[in-house]
Amino acid sequence: MRYSTLLIALPICISQAHAELVINGQPASTSTAVTTSNTSNPSSYSPSNNFNQCIANLRSNAIAAGVSASTYDRYTQNLTPDYSVIEKLNYQPEFKTDLWDYLSGLVDDERVQEGQQKITQYRDVLNRASAQYGVPVETIVAVWGVESNFGNISGKYPLLQALGTLSCEGRRQSYFRGEFFATMRILQRGDLTEDQLKGSWAGAFGHTQFMPSTYERLAVDFDGDGRRDLVSSVSDALASTANFLKRGGWQTGMPWGFEVQAPSNVMASGRTNKIALGTWASRGVTRMDGSAVIQGNLSSSTPAALLAPAGANGPKFLVFKNFDAIYGYNAAESYALAIALLSDRLQGKPGIIASWPTDDPGTSRAERRELQTLLLQRGHDIGDVDGLIGDKSREAIRVEQQRLGFAQTGRAGQQILRALRAEQLMK
């Protein structure tokens, strides 16, 4: 539910937000490539409307939407715009991250280990939420890990300022006005304070990054304190996430999907084109160990789709209704796959077995930090060693790739890491 790491044409506005804060991009592409955004430039946007006049004109609409006049006046009297959010809304990405890079940063050993620690720490809450909503503990925690790195990164933008700006400038003003008014209704009810309502540039907030209108519909008070608090209450956040998935069609006791082997003449169907699982079996599709796809609660009539997110030469997956429930959280197949694979890893299952169609695999966050350290040691000014590969890191990588005779892609892949690592060992 975030408007975080990967950006597409703007379906972000009709689903939840994205994994923006975790790997410096926004998972909103269902293709192999995932785009990343540049946040280093100061705002240079020239507004087309008078912000104060716009806010004043919205007062009657807010009141009609259930915001009291006193609430609206209180929270808008000193409100100022932040036009950097319009630049993010309009940003056209120049750098594309391959799916294997995207997943290697989101589903790595570091996140698996921390996720398992969180499962132990919040075992009682998670067990209760899983029992009530029918969603596995590991799936709930996987969403938490991808959305905010387990609450460590949840966004810095004041929601009223960001959504107020988006309500008066740029595209989709009507949508953002709805979220702006929803934010005020949340404050009006007293569940959260204005200081707590900080999140992504597009309005997602809390441990698992709900949009304000989604909060109103699906947030639950799970700790029994009379407030639905997705910011300070891990219990409320985790249970609300389980409620979201259940309301999105999660089928208790069924898998999201699994990796498969398929004959070369069997074509991927796409997520929405499901056919009977028995048909896939009759076409020779099997699990990776060669066993039958129909096992457990699955039957020959269970609807299933075959995904090949990196093309015919990459890993393939049979996915079911529960994959769609995860997809609904963020409307991106790359995102849904990250959640699904992380949930598997948290259960102790192996990661992807088939190889990606590349001779330069992706790097984990720990490996990206190592690469950044090596770049700093070679005199490149890339900023902090944080595992987030932004413009400065990519430019430094291009310089080193040119020196080494590699293709100048700016990718933080295994090839450049191994080369710089080997040079460092020789010193």
DSSP string, 134-164: ---HHHHHHHHHHHHTTTT----EEHHHHHH
Question: With bands split at pLDDT 50, 70 and 90, how would you rate the model's confidence at 94?
Answer: low
Residue 181 is assigned to a structural domain of this protein: no
Q: Give the integer Cα–Cα distance in Å for 346 and 366.
A: 18
- pLDDT for the residue 8: 28
Work out the number of other CB atoms within 10 angstroms of the CB of residue 382. 20
Least confident of 28-32, 63-67, 150-154, 393-397: 28-32
And the tokens for 16?
Answer: 């939840």
Q: Which helix (H) or strand (E) holds 180?
A: helix 173-189
pLDDT at residue 42 greater than cutoff 80: no
Residue 401 is assigned to a structural domain of this protein: yes
Tally of domains within the chain: 2
Work out the number of other CB atoms within 10 angstroms of the CB of residue 297. 10
Q: Give the integer Cα–Cα distance in Å for 238 and 109.
A: 22
- pLDDT for the residue 97: 80
Do 310 and 99 contact (CB within 8 A), yes or no? yes
- pLDDT for the residue 20: 40
Residue 53 is assigned to a structural domain of this protein: no
Nearest to 259 by CA among 363, 351, 333: 351
Q: How far is CA 347 from CA 103, 241, 244, 251, 341, in A?
A: 17, 18, 21, 18, 10
Span 220-246, pLDDT tens digits? 999 999 999 999 999 999 999 999 999
Q: Which helix (H) or strand (E) holds 103?
A: helix 99-106
Q: Give the integer Cα–Cα distance in Å for 278 and 280.
A: 5
Residue finishing a domain among 282, 297, 319: 319
Q: Give the integer Cα–Cα distance in Å for 412 and 418.
A: 11
And the tokens for 8?
Answer: 């597409």
Residue 332 is assigned to a structural domain of this protein: no
Residue 378 is assigned to a structural domain of this protein: yes
Residue 300 is assigned to a structural domain of this protein: yes
Span 142-165, pLDDT tens digits? 999 999 999 998 899 999 999 999
Residue 90 is assigned to a structural domain of this protein: no
Least confident of 42-51, 94-103, 285-294, 344-353: 42-51
**Helix (H, G, I), strand (E, B), or coil: what is residue 95?**
strand
Residue finishing a domain among 285, 303, 319: 319
pLDDT at residue 285 greater than cutoff 90: yes
- Please, which residues bridge with residue 317 across strands? 259, 307
Domain limits for position 406:
365-426
Q: Write down the H helix ranges in 225-315.
A: 234-247, 277-282
pTM score above 0.75: yes
Residue 416 is assigned to a structural domain of this protein: yes
DSSP 210: B
